[in-house]
Each structure stands twice: as C-alpha cells, then as structure tokens.
Amino acid sequence: MPMTGYRSITVSEEVYNKLVQFLEEHKDELKKQDVRSISSLVGHLVMYVIEADDILRRRAPWMRLVGFTEHGVVIEDKKIDRIVEVRLVNDDLFCELDQRDDCVHVGFAYAIPEVYNAMVARGKRPPQVWE
C-alpha cells in the first residue's frame, strides 16, 4: 500500500533495472536535485518529459518533433505542411528550409531540452528568432 499522497505504478523488471542503474550512475548529480530513490527518480523523469512537451506545445503548437538525425532534428511544420530539418552546421543550428540560423524552426529546435543542453554545452545560446 502506498504512503498517503502517493500512488503506485508497475514497471517491467527491465525498466526497473535500468532505473536502478541510472540512479547509481548519476547518484551525485541527482542528489543535488533531491532525487534519492527510484520513486523520486521516476517522478523527476516524468515531470521533465511533461514540462518539455508543454513548453514545445506553447511555443509552437503547429510544430512537432519528428525525430533526431545524426546531425540535427526533424520537425513537422503544420502551418506550411512541410518536414523541416534543422542541422548542426559550423557548430550552430541551421534551418535547411529557410537557409537561416534565426528562423522559427531553429527556435523550436532550441526549445527541445536535448538540443538546448547540447548547444549550451558547446557554449551556444538560442538566437533572437524571427518568423
């Protein structure tokens, strides 16, 4: 029976084992975020995904992340009914469709947490974006 204010969920043993491994491998950095158990790790990861999805939906509801490539991301732009690739060119994000590094597609790419974190690790910040 879960503690008051909590609910229980069931995951496969494979998922559980990966969570245990992840918690062990990242113990020090997770402690800084007050993640000390499998339960708090699951809550932390789920909230991260939900918040990231919410940010993307608010910024550009007409766009969605299709996936990642070796050199960038693929985005569906429903406004123009096109698939757009934003690639890493000369250490900056560059939109193949608009041939620019400051269009709305580049801005959307920066709103994807994995992209943002990778670019910040390279010392880059999101540009001022123009439509």
- Compute how many other C-beta atoms are within 10 angstroms of the C-beta atom of residue 109: 28
Residue pLDDT, tens place only, 3-60: 899 888 999 999 999 999 999 999 998 999 899 999 999 999 999 888 878 877 887 8
State whether residue 86 is helix, strand or coil.
Answer: strand
**pLDDT > 80? residue 128:** no
How many angstroms separate the first and last alpha carbons of the chain?
A: 52
Distance CA 69, CA 87 (A): 9
78 band by pLDDT with thresholds 50, 70 and 90: very high
- Compute how many other C-beta atoms are within 10 angstroms of the C-beta atom of residue 78: 11
Residue pLDDT, tens place only, 82-118: 999 999 999 899 999 999 999 999 999 998 888 988 8
pTM over 0.75: no
